[in-house]
Structure 1
Amino acid sequence: MKDLAHSSLRSGLLAGLVAATLAMPGAAAAASTDPAPLPAAGDGWRLGVAEVPAPHAAGAKVRTTARIEVLAGQLGQGGAPLQAVAAAQAAQQLADGALDAWVGVWPDEDASPEGVRATRLAWSAAPMAIMRTDTDIHAWSDLSGRTVCLSADGRVSGELSARFGAIEQIYASAADALLALRVGQCDAAVQDEDFMKQLLTFPEWRKFSAQLAPYRTQALTRLMRDDLSAPRKAAVRQATSAERVRELARQQARDIAFEVYLDQTVPDCH
C-alpha cells in the first residue's frame, strides 16, 4: 500500500470500506471478524460443491472465493472437508451415502432424485455485468468484440464468448477480475447477480455501477438426503438459510472489495 498518505483515491476506498464494515452487525468489536462457524452435528456433515478451492499456499495472496456455497460449507460443517462433486454426479453421491448435502447450480430444480429433497436457496447465481458508468455498453449483445473479466471460479466461462462474441479474460479470483475492471483492462466484469448487488452497495463502486441485468435466471439449489438425522438436517438448513446466506454475502462482498483495494496501486483508468 505504498504512497497511501498521498493517494486520495486509495484513502477514500479504505475509509468507505472501513465505514461499511463497522456498519455491519457485530463488526464494531472487530472489523475483520468473519461470520461465526455454525454448530455442527456430530463429526460434521458432508457437503459437496461443484468446485473446491485449492488450499492457501504460504506467501500467496489471500483471496475470497466467488462461490457463496463454498463459504457456507467452510463455516458450517464443524471441520468436515468440502468435497468436489459435479452436478451430474451429485444425486448418485447422495443416494450412495457419500454426501449428506450438495449445493450448487442444479440443472433441473423441479426434479428431486429418489430419497433426496431439492430446495431452491436464496441466492441468484444468474450472470450480471458491471461496467464504468460512462460505458457505451447497454445490452449483452454490445459485448461482441469487447473484453469481459471473469474469475476462474465463476460460473459463465465460455458462455459469454459463445453467446455474445465477448472476449473473455479469466483471472485467478473475483478480486483479480474486479481489479482488472477498475484499472481499465476490460470493458465489463461478470459474476453472480447477488454478489454484484452486494458489491455495488459500497460507495467506492459507484463509478462502476452501470450494469446489465441477467439474461437468464439461475439460482442455487440444495440437495439433501431424506434419511439424515434430525440434528444433521437442522445443521444443513441453518448453514444455508436465507438469513445465513445474506450474512455471508455481506461478508464476501466486503472481503473481496477490500482485497481489490489492497492490490490497487494505480488510479482507476479514466
Structure 2
Amino acid sequence: MMILASLTTLPVGAHSSSDPLRIGVSYVPPEPGPAEYRVYTPESFDVLIARKIAERLGRKPEFVQLPEVDWSPSLERHEVDVIVGRVPDEIRLPRDFIIVDTGFRSGAAASMRTDTDVRDWRDLAGRTVCVARGNTVALALARQTGAQVQIEDAPAKSLVQVRTGICDAAIHDETLLERLFQQQGWQKFSATLSPTPPVRLAAMLGTDDPLLSDAVRQVLDQIGSAGTWVELQEKWARNVAFEVYLDQDAPDCH
C-alpha cells in the first residue's frame, strides 16, 4: 500500500466539504475520456500532491492552470486557494503568503543517446529538444539553449522521441531521470548533461486562513518523508519506462 494512502483525514476547519479547493498547478492533465484506454504518468508530482491535500481536507479539488510566467497575481486576486509547483529559492511572494516545502527537490537534466555528440547545454542550439508540459524549469532551459523545442503532454511521449531519434534530447527532472536510467533497456539512452541547480516542489498559500495553512503543513509534513519520495520516484520511473515501451511502435534501429 502506498504510504500516501495510509494518512489519516485532517479536519476540514472553517470550510464546508462542499466547497471545492481551488488549486493552481502549471499544467492540468486532461481527464481520460470514455474512448481512451491509456492514462499517462504526469511530468510532476504537483497534481498528486494537490489531490492529497484536498482529500485530507475533505474537499473536492478544482484545478486551475496557472500562467507560464508569473503566479503571484493568482494568489493576490484569490483566484486559487493554494498553488503547488516548482518554486525557486529566490522567489518573492506577495505579502501575507507563505511557502511550504513538499520535500522534493530536483534540477533539470537531459536524456540522450550514448553516441551523441552533445557535450554541453550550449551544444543543443538548433537541435530538437523534447519537454513535457508542466515542467516549467525544463521548458525555460530548453528555450535558453536555442533549441527547437517540442512540447509533449506527458514524459513518456517526450522520452520516446529520443529513442526513435526524433529528438536529440529530452529534458526532465534529474532526480527522476536518474531512477529511469536504472530501468532495463535505458542504458543506451542515459547520456546526460550537468544538472541545473535543484528547485523545490512546494505549496504556496495565504496566511489569512490559518486552518487551511495548518492543514497543508500537516499534510506536507506527513507525505514529505524520504521513504515516501523514494517510493514515488521509483514508481514514476517504472511507469514511464513501461509507457515508453508501449509507445515505441518500432524497435530501435539506430
Question: Which of 211, 217, 220 is the aligned partner of 1:228?
Answer: 211
Q: How many Å separate the matches in 1 of 2:51 and 2:80?
A: 18
CA contact (8 A) 2:102 2:220 kept: no
- Equivalent positions of 1:93-104 (< 5 A) are 96=78, 98-99=80-81, 101-104=82-85
Question: Which of 132, 135, 138 is the aligned partner of 1:154?
Answer: 135
* Match in the other structure for 1:7: none
Deviation at 1:177, TM superposition (A): 1.0
SS at match of 2:139: coil
* Match in the other structure for 2:178: 197
User: Residues 85, 166 of structure 1: CA spacing in aligned structure 2 closer, same or farther, 3 A cutoff?
Assistant: closer
Residue-by-residue CA offset, 1:2-42 (whole Å, 9 max, x unaligned):
xxxxxxxxxxxxxxxxxxxxxxxx5xxxxxx8963744333
Residue-by-residue CA offset, 1:95-154 (whole Å, 9 max, x unaligned):
x5951x322123554645444332344333432111111211111111122211222333
CA contact (8 A) 1:148 1:190 kept: yes
User: Residues 269, 75 of structure 1: CA spacing in aligned structure 2 closer, same or farther, 3 A cutoff?
Assistant: farther
> Counterpart amino acid of 1:70?
V
Superposition CA RMSD, Å: 2.9
| Residues 181-190 or 116-125, more deviating | 116-125
Deviation at 1:215, TM superposition (A): 3.6
* Match in the other structure for 1:22: none
CA contact (8 A) 2:24 2:80 kept: no
SS at match of 1:180: helix
> Counterpart amino acid of 1:166?
A
* Match in the other structure for 1:248: 232
- Which ranges of structure 2 fall in alignment gaps of 5 or more residues? none
Deviation at 1:192, TM superposition (A): 1.6
Q: How many Å separate the matches in 1 of 2:224 and 2:101?
A: 10
User: Residues 103, 185 of structure 1: CA spacing in aligned structure 2 closer, same or farther, 3 A cutoff?
Assistant: same
Residues paired across the two proteins, number: 235
1:58 and 2:34 correspond = yes
Question: Which of 103, 126, 132 is the aligned partner of 1:122?
Answer: 103
CA contact (8 A) 1:158 1:168 kept: no
Question: Which of 202, 205, 209 is the aligned partner of 2:190?
Answer: 209
Identity %: 32
* Match in the other structure for 2:49: 72
CA contact (8 A) 1:154 1:191 kept: yes
Question: Which of 35, 40, 50 is the aligned partner of 2:9?
Answer: 40
Residue-by-residue CA offset, 1:44-90 (whole Å, 9 max, x unaligned):
86543222212112222211110111122234432621422532235
Deviation at 1:92, TM superposition (A): 2.0
Could you tell me the TM-score, scaled by structure 2's length?
Answer: 0.78
Q: How many Å separate the matches in 1 of 2:194 and 2:102?
A: 20
SS at match of 1:190: strand
1:84 and 2:67 correspond = no
Could you tell me the TM-score, scaled by structure 1's length?
Answer: 0.74
- Which ranges of structure 1 fall in alignment gaps of 5 or more residues? 1-25, 27-32
CA contact (8 A) 2:27 2:133 kept: no
Q: How many Å separate the matches in 2 of 1:97 and 1:39?
A: 28
User: Residues 145, 269 of structure 1: CA spacing in aligned structure 2 closer, same or farther, 3 A cutoff?
Assistant: farther
> Counterpart amino acid of 1:237?
D
Q: How many Å separate the matches in 1 of 2:47 and 2:147?
A: 28
Q: How many Å separate the matches in 2 of 1:237 and 1:255?
A: 26
User: Residues 257, 103 of structure 1: CA spacing in aligned structure 2 closer, same or farther, 3 A cutoff?
Assistant: same
* Match in the other structure for 2:145: 164
Q: How many Å separate the matches in 2 of 1:55 and 1:232?
A: 25
Q: How many Å separate the matches in 1 of 2:228 and 2:62?
A: 18
